[in-house]
Amino acid sequence: MKLAWLNPRLEGCCVSGAHLRATIGAQAEAAEDLLHLVSQAPRLENLATFRSVRLDVDAGNLTLSIEEVDMYAQPLSPGGVPGALATPASLAEHALAQALLIRDLCVQGQSILRLAS
Whose CA is closest to 97, among 80, 117, 112? 80
Whose CA is closest to 41, among 52, 26, 28? 52
25 has a pLDDT exceeding 80: yes
Domain that holds residue 86: 2-116
Q: What's the total number of domains in the chain?
A: 1
Which are the contacts of 23, defined by CB distance < 8 A and separation ≥ 6?
13, 112, 115, 116
Query: What is the arithmetic mean of pLDDT over 61-88?
Result: 91
pLDDT on residue 73? 95
38 has a pLDDT exceeding 80: yes
Comparison of pLDDT for 15 and 3, the residue scoring more: 3
Comparison of pLDDT for 84 and 46, the residue scoring more: 46
pLDDT band at residue 117 using 50, 70 and 90 as cut-offs: low
